[in-house]
Chains A and B, each alone.
Chain A
Amino acid sequence: MSRLRAALTPYLLLFPGTLWLAIFFVVPTVVMLSLSLQSGDVVNGYAFTFNWHSYVDGISTYHDQIVRSLVYGLVSTVIQIVIGFPVAYWIAFKGGTRKSIYLFLLLLPFLVSFVLRTISWQFFLSDNGLLLGPLKSLGLVPQDFHILATSAAVIGGLAYNFLPFMILPMYVALERIDPRVLEAAQDLYASKAQTFLRVVLPLSLPGVFAGVLMTFVPATSDYVNASVLGGTSNTMIGNVIQNQFLVNQDYPTASALSFTLMALLLVGIFAYAKALGTEDVLEVAAR
């Protein structure tokens, strides 16, 4: 009896999570996959017809938005690495006893909702807002200069909104580096720069890897930043999908685009993991 219970325990523990995933992930995914292959319209109803047209039409029509989303996601991820790495490094190695305070400060803005933060960026960046207003009245930038409704605004918003998810895993990886390992490098004639390149950087790569996964995916599929900060010419695939679902009620196209995006992201992640998988990353860095 007790042996049976011991055998069942792992399944019992997994049960709530499995149920959750089944209801809120597997079922909607299957429904969406089915929808993407149906034809019809919202008035006359849909029928399952193995209709690949939604994919073909969707991709050819919204090709630009798909590419733009991947580019925005990529550029914002690179910006986050460039901004986030020094922050994570500084907190991990120079934070001393105040590390947890700095981490708290980093997360403080995130007690406010994602949408509200994006809208406050809209205020901040608006044509005569907090940033540009004073600059324009001082004549430092031309009167017709604007940031909103440019790709820079969208990418900046994406980089800002996902930054902590880049910094935290990098911080964890850097924090775990034994300071004596860095001293060992110095002791073995490595300069500060060589110590960083040969030891700190390779040991932090698993954190960068995790950070990229946690920011590139949501940034690429985001639609809030593009709709709040971008104009009509900067729409991302997320906006298109949202529009197809909620405005046009073209469910097959919306579903097909969702699956296309998901497939692209999965392929991208696997290619990235293959090229820079943590084990291999370390192997390369050791040379």
Chain B
Amino acid sequence: MTEIQAGPGAAVAAAPVSGDVPAIELDHVVKEYVSHGEVVRAVKGVSLAIAEGEFFSLLGPSGCGKTTSMRMIAGFEDPTQGVVRLHGEDVTSVPPNKRDINMVFQSYALFPHMNVWDNVAFGLKRKKVPDAEIKRRVGEILEVVDLVGREKRRPKEMSGGQQQRVALARALVNRPRALLLDEPLGALDLKLRQAMQIELKRIQREVGITFVYVTHDQSEALTMSDRIAVMNDGLVEQLAEPREIYERPASKFVAGFIGTSNLLSGTVQQITGDTAVLALGASDRILVPADGALAAGASVDLTVRPEKIKIAKDQPEGDLSVVRGTVSEVVYLGTYNSYVVRLGDGAEITVFEQNANDSTITAERGDAVWLSWQPWHSYALR
């Protein structure tokens, strides 16, 4: 768990891999702070490899170490232990201004005393790019982020979305080999945020550079990323494609953090073939794919997504996981209905039912119902 090595070779189809050298590599990186005389371990040993051209997200709750990890990639923090590599080169002790990567800051951190043009041209001027080329490149990038005609504006004269695009242009104009984005959409309202998500993905495809995206917003990460590292308490809990993370969460934490999940626990009754049968109550049985690690008598935590569960008044047929319960809550949510079903042992299960046919609801509050799902929709968690 501590170190999930997911190099470009780790069978992950969506990660665009070019060559064998990862664009960014964290190798057993640890970061400790001293705060009020106590050592705080913000990052407790993270190893990951981000491929060239990949849209990679570090996802987790605040304080999970995702921002610290990103700041170590940028060079604003020195790792207490471990190595940071950019394109195979050890940059652990290289200062930020000597690293060929740029960052988009959480609150944009635009230079308040400069207009849009000077903000965007700042990096190129420091790199001593000839004036004519600065002019051309700044003009080009302002076109990409749709800010032509606003060159003379000061940051404080612009909306949040515009400032966001200036911050993006200011980083991208340098054509860095990787772009780090620290919750760049956090300050925007929902509509603008969704528009910018699509915009960011488009820009990333257009410029083709590696994006490392830090966010606590799971839907943002799922929407944009090629791969996601879910972090918790200074460690990577799971590193995989969005679909994999959602469908097969590797831990209780990931299951709970990404989307809505039902967590159940039971005891293995028997193993038949590649399926373990769990008993919950008298007429309940849950089927879980057995991967050899399960044995009869073992107690198991498992997760199942609300939209995978069928709710019915009659006992369902077939080789399904089946549990019985009583509806304790029905919420009409437009595109779907949400039920909360209380099981015999007091556990509650959330079920989503698509409003595909008509507006009738299957069950009312207080009804006894059968819940069922396919065995492969629930997983034993570590």
Contact = CB atoms under 8 A, between A and B. Distances in A.
Interface of A: 178, 180-181, 183-191, 194, 198-199, 202-203, 282, 285-287
Contacts of B47: none
A178 B113 CA distance: 12
A-B complex: 8 closest residue pairs judged by Cβ atoms? A188-B123, A180-B109, A189-B126, A282-B113, A286-B114, A184-B109, A186-B96, A286-B118
Contact of A180 (B105, B114, B127, B170): B105
Interface string B76-112: 1000000000000000000111100011011101111
Nearest to A182: B109
B112 A183 contact: no
Contact of B96 (A183, A198, A282): A183
Nearest to A184: B109
A275 B171 CA distance: 34
A183 B113 contact: no
B328 interface: no
Interface residues of B, number: 26
Given A183-B76, A186-B97, A188-B170, A286 B113 contact: yes
B102 A186 contact: no
B115 interface: yes
Main secondary structure of the interface of A (DSSP, over half): helix
Nearest to B36: A97
A258 to B, nearest CB: 39
Contacts of A285: 113
Interface string B114-153: 1100100011001100000000000000000000000000
Given A184-B105, A187-B103, A203 B96 contact: no
Contacts of A186: 76, 95-97
B97 A190 contact: yes
B259 to A, nearest CB: 32
Contacts of A183: 76, 96, 103, 105, 109
A190 B126 contact: yes
A287 B117 CA distance: 10
A72 B107 CA distance: 45
Nearest to B173: A188
A203 B155 CA distance: 14
Contact of B115 (A194, A202, A286): A286
B107 A185 contact: no
B105 A203 contact: no
B321 interface: no
A47 B110 CA distance: 64
B109 to A, nearest CB: 4
B74 interface: yes
B102 A187 contact: yes
A179 to B, nearest CB: 9
A183 B95 CA distance: 11
A46 to B, nearest CB: 53
A188 B174 contact: yes
A280 B76 CA distance: 32
B108 to A, nearest CB: 8
Given A183-B76, A183-B96, A282-B113, A188 B107 contact: no
B97 A189 contact: yes
Contacts of A178: 107, 109
A62 B155 CA distance: 51
14 contacts: A178-B107, A180-B105, A181-B112, A183-B76, A184-B105, A187-B76, A187-B96, A187-B171, A188-B123, A188-B174, A189-B97, A189-B126, A286-B113, A286-B114
A199 B114 CA distance: 9
Contact of A184 (B95, B111, B115, B174): B111
A189 B123 contact: yes
A216 B96 CA distance: 40
Nearest to A281: B113
Contacts of B123: 188-189
A188 B110 CA distance: 11
